[in-house]
Structure 1
Amino acid sequence: MSHRTHKPTAHLTGSPQINSLAGDDKGLSKIKSWEARQGLATLANGMRHKKGHIIIPTNGLYFIYSQLYYRFLNPKQTQSKTYQLIHYTFKQNSYPKPLQIMKSARNTCWSKNVEFGLYTSYQGGVFRLQRGDKIWVAVSNMSMVCLEETSSYFGAFMI
């Protein structure tokens, strides 16, 4: 007899719909328009998604990951310019202030001689989460994030 446990799992994918953003005083935007049900996305075993948050159903250790794909169209008349690309993952529990749990950052300078600037930022780690905790992704330069389902995604699963 095989004993299988059904652990909470979420894999949200980029959604090309217009992102409703929540900006803050540091120039960050929370990504809210993740796809949770169609295509490659999935929610299983109690995981929920609401307004960009994954809501944790059960206490335990979780692997949390996210990837963002940056794509910048470089108009011919633009001089080369440096961009600061910052990718955060936050956790919110009963404490009123969100806790930053992961951060990726890069200063990128794309040449004026290329049509597109491309960059991918990935982060992942194991965290102890409690029932009701919310996790989400925020980013600087949201206009440069390409929300294709195979290139920008966010998820968590209990280990």
Structure 2
Amino acid sequence: MEGYTAALTGMELGDGAPGMVPPPEKPSGGWAGKLCGVVMLVALCGTSAMLFHCHGLTQSHGIETNEHQQNLKQISTNMKAAIHLHGEFNPKVYNKSVLWRDGDGHSFFQGGLKLENNEIIIPQNGLYFVYSQVSFRVLCSSAAGHTNQPLSHTIMRWSDSYSDEKPLLSAVSTMCQSDASGLDRRYNAVYLGAIFSLEIEDRLWTDTNQPKNVDGGDGKTFFGVFAL
């Protein structure tokens, strides 16, 4: 195109024979330089595009990582509060009732629910399912008068709303009902469970009338709460 433009310019100035277009000049070193410049420009554009693409991938990977971390944080934040405790009777540690543990067997806690001084502490207002089971192992003997023994298990609650303690759930069972001759080992379990509206800093604990007869085997005596 540059040679063609030069030819038109020559015609307009009247150089050379009338109606004749001067032959194009032989390409000089300037053409080679321009060609090299175009090649270098294309190479630079390609390199820039590659760098931009890599930078875009790096940014995209960073965004995905941040989103993954945010999702994990949201999951941990929205995790439902729950606690499940294993119980036993250990008079050397606690002789008033069942001793609850949060680090034995299948016991666990999460979401703010925790065990303090043998009591479950409620982390925030809401609906909770509260449950407990106590298994008893009683030696019955009619000669010793071990007949018709009552076994009671109660979940207690203390709340700021009424600044007092009250029974939340309670049940009574009987054992050694028959007049057995000699010794007879009997087993029984008392289970409690219901939904309650609880408040922050409420405290829940249990009261069992015959803790020395509690069976502390795996899965037999437990106490728990989980948020709904």
TM-score, reference length from structure 2:
0.59
Corresponding residue pairs, total: 151
1:13 is the counterpart of 2:86: yes
Superposed displacement of residue 35, structure 1: 1.2
Task: Pick the structure with greater CA Rg.
Answer: 2
Unaligned runs of 5+ in 2: 1-70
1:64 is the counterpart of 2:130: yes
Superposed displacement of residue 16, structure 1: 5.4
Q: Which structure carries more strand by proportion?
A: 1
Q: What is the RMSD computed on CA atoms of the aligned residues?
A: 2.3
Superposed displacement of residue 73, structure 1: 2.8
TM-score, reference length from structure 1:
0.83
1:101 is the counterpart of 2:175: no
What is the distance in 2 between the residues matched to 1:148 and 1:80? 23
Identity of aligned residues (%): 23
State the SS of the aligned residue for 1:151: coil
State the SS of the aligned residue for 1:143: helix
Q: Which structure carries more helix by proportion?
A: 2
After superposition, residues 1-159 of structure 1 pair within 5 angstroms as 4=75, 5-15=78-88, 17-18=90-91, 19-22=93-96, 30-31=97-98, 33-74=99-140, 78-94=144-160, 95-110=162-177, 111-113=180-182, 115-159=184-228
